[in-house]
Chains A and B, each alone.
Chain A
Amino acid sequence: MLRLLARTDTGPVTAAVLAVLLVLVAVPLQPRVTTTLATAFALALAAIGVDLAGAYGGQFLFGQFGFVAIAAYATAYFDHHVGLPFALAALLALVVVAVAAAVLAAAVVRLAHFGAALATFFFGSVVAALLTATWLESITNGESGVPSPAPRLAGVDLASGRAVYVFAWLLLVAGTFVTFRYIRSRSGRALMLTKRSSAVAKVMGIHVQREGASVIVVAALLAGAGGVIYALTSGYLAPEGFATQESTFLVAMAAVGGFGTIAGPILGAIFFTLIPELLNASGSTESIIFAAALLLVLVLEPQGLYGFVARLVKLAQAASRAPARSPVPVPVRRALSCGSAGEPKASVSPRRRAHRSVRTHPRNWIYAAPRSVTAGSTRSRT
Chain B
Amino acid sequence: MTLLLSTIIAGIGLGLIYGLLAFSFALIFKTTSVANFAAGNMAMFGAFIIYRVIQDAKVGLGAGIAIGLAIAAVLGALIYLCALRPRDDAGSMNLLIRTQAVSLLLFGIAFQLWGAGEPFNFPSVSPTSSLNIGHVIVPWSTLVNAGVSAVLALAFSWFFYRTDTGLMFRGVAESPDVARLLGVRTRRLSAIAWIIATVVAVLVGVLVAPTAFLSPDMMDSFLLGAITASVLGGLTSLAGAFLGGICVGIISDIAAVYSGSTNAVLATFGLLLLVLFVRPMGLFGKPIAERI
A positions within 8 Å CB-CB of B:
54-55, 60, 62, 104, 106-108, 110-115, 117-119, 121-123, 125-126, 129-130, 132-134, 197-200, 244-245, 248, 251-252, 255, 259, 283-285, 287-288, 290-292, 294-295, 298-299, 302
Instruction: Tell me, in angstroms, the Cα distance from A198 to B280 when the chains sit together.
Output: 16
Cβ of B105 under 8 Å from chain A: yes
The stretch among B44-52, B203-211, B250-258, B269-277 that forms the contact with chain A is B269-277
Task: Decide yes or no whether B111 CB sits under 8 A from chain A.
Answer: yes
Residues of B within 8 A of A119 (CB): 231, 272-273, 276
Q: Chain A residues near B111 (CB, 8 Å)?
A: 283-284, 287
For chain B residues 221-278, which have a beta carbon within 8 Å of chain A? 224, 227-228, 230-231, 235-236, 260, 262, 265-266, 268-269, 272-273, 276-277
Q: Identify A245's interface contact among B104, B262, B269, B290, CB under 8 A.
A: B104
CA of A119 to CA of B270, assembled, Å: 11
Whether A284 touches B292, Cβ cut-off 8 Å, given contacts A134-B262, A291-B104, A299-B83, is no
Closest to B90 in A: A302
Q: What separation, in Å, do the CA atoms of A125 and B264 have in the docked complex?
A: 12
A295 to B288, CA, bound (A): 33
Of A55, A104, A252, the contact of B97 (CB 8 Å cutoff) = A252
Q: With contacts A122-B228, A248-B100 known, is A108 near B269, CB below 8 A?
A: no
15 further interface pairs, Cβ-Cβ under 8 Å (given A287-B108, A294-B101, A299-B86):
A110-B280, A111-B231, A113-B35, A114-B92, A117-B35, A117-B96, A130-B262, A133-B262, A199-B290, A255-B94, A284-B112, A291-B105, A294-B97, A298-B94, A299-B87
Question: Given known contacts A112-B281, A115-B276, A295-B98, is B93 in contact with A259 (CB within 8 Å)?
Answer: yes
Q: Could you count the A-B residue pairs with CB atoms below 8 Å apart for me: how many are there? A: 137
User: What separation, in Å, do the CA atoms of A69 and B156 have in the docked complex?
Assistant: 42
Instruction: Give 16 CB contacts A-B under 8 Å.
Output: A60-B93, A107-B276, A110-B280, A111-B231, A112-B280, A112-B288, A114-B92, A115-B280, A118-B227, A125-B224, A251-B97, A259-B93, A288-B105, A291-B108, A295-B98, A302-B90
Interface readout for B63-90 with A: 1 if CB under 8 Å, 0 if not?
A: 0000000000000000000010011001
Most chain B beta-carbon neighbours within 10 Å: one of A121, A122, A198, A248: A122
What is B's interface to A at a CB cutoff of 8 Å?
29, 35, 37, 83, 86-87, 90-94, 96-98, 100-102, 104-105, 107-109, 111-112, 115, 220, 224, 227-228, 230-231, 235-236, 260, 262, 265-266, 268-269, 272-273, 276-277, 280-281, 288, 290, 292
Q: Which residues of A contact B100 (CB under 8 A)?
A: 248, 251-252
> Would you give the shortest CB distance from B270 to chain A, in whole angstroms?
9
- List 5 A-B pairs, minimum CB-CB distance, nearest first: A110-B280, A302-B90, A291-B104, A291-B105, A288-B108
Q: Is the CB of A107 within 8 A of B98?
A: no
Q: Which residue of chain B lies nearest to A203 when distances are taken between CB atoms in the complex? A: B292
Whether B235 pairs with A115 at a CB distance below 8 angstroms is yes
Q: In the complex, how many angstroms separate the beta carbon of B53 from the nearest chain A beta carbon?
A: 22
Contacts of A121 in B (CB 8 A): 37, 224, 227
**Residue pair B227, A122 in contact (C-beta under 8 Å):** yes
- Tell me if B112 and A285 are in contact (CB < 8 A): yes
Are the CB atoms of A114 and B262 closer together than 8 Å?
Answer: no
Bound Cα distance A134, B262 (Å):
9
Contact residues in B for A200 (Cβ distance below 8 Å): 292
Task: Give chain A residues whose Cβ lies under 8 Å from the Cβ of B260.
Answer: 134
Q: In the complex, what residue of chain B is closest to A124 when comparing beta carbons?
A: B224
CA distance in complex: A62, B96 (Å) = 11
A284 contacts B288, C-beta separation under 8 Å:
no
Q: A108-B276, A118-B227, A134-B262 are in contact. Are A197 and B290 (CB under 8 A)?
A: yes
Chain B contacts of A107 at CB under 8 A? 272-273, 276-277
What is the CA–CA distance of A132 and B235 in the complex, to the nearest angstrom?
31
Selected contact of A129 from candidates B108, B109, B265, CB within 8 Å: B265
Q: Do B288 and A298 touch (CB < 8 A)?
A: no
Chain B residue contacts of A114, Cβ below 8 A: 29, 35, 92, 96, 235
State whether A248 and B104 are in contact (beta carbons under 8 Å apart), knowing that A112-B281, A115-B235, A133-B262 are contacts in the complex.
yes
Bound complex: CA A133 to CA B104 (Å): 26
Q: Which of A125, A130, A199, A259 counts the most B-chain CB atoms under 10 A from its CB?
A: A125
Shortest beta-carbon distance from A66 to chain B in Å: 11
B90: chain A residues at CB < 8 Å are: 298, 302
When C-beta atoms are compared, the residue in chain A nearest to B113 turns out to be A284
Whether the pair B280, A126 counts as a contact (CB closer than 8 A) is no
- Complex Cα spacing A74 to B101, Å: 31
Q: Which residues of A have CB within 8 Å of B224?
A: 121-122, 125
Contact: B115 with A252, CB < 8 Å?
no
Q: Which residue of B lies closest to A283 (CB)?
A: B111
Chain A: minimal CB distance from B287 (Å): 9
Contact B227 A294 (CB under 8 A): no
Contact between A291 and B115 (Cβ–Cβ < 8 Å)? no
Q: Which B residues are in CB contact (< 8 Å) with A284?
A: 108, 111-112, 115
Chain B residue contacts of A123, Cβ below 8 A:
269
Question: Are B104 and A287 in contact, CB atoms less than 8 angstroms apart?
Answer: yes
Partner of A290, one of B93, B104, B269, B292: B104
Assembly CA distance A283 to B280 (angstroms) = 41
Interchain nearest-CB distance for B258 vs A (Å) = 15
Contacts of B236 in A (CB 8 A): 113
Question: Chain B contacts of A252 at CB under 8 A?
Answer: 97, 100-101
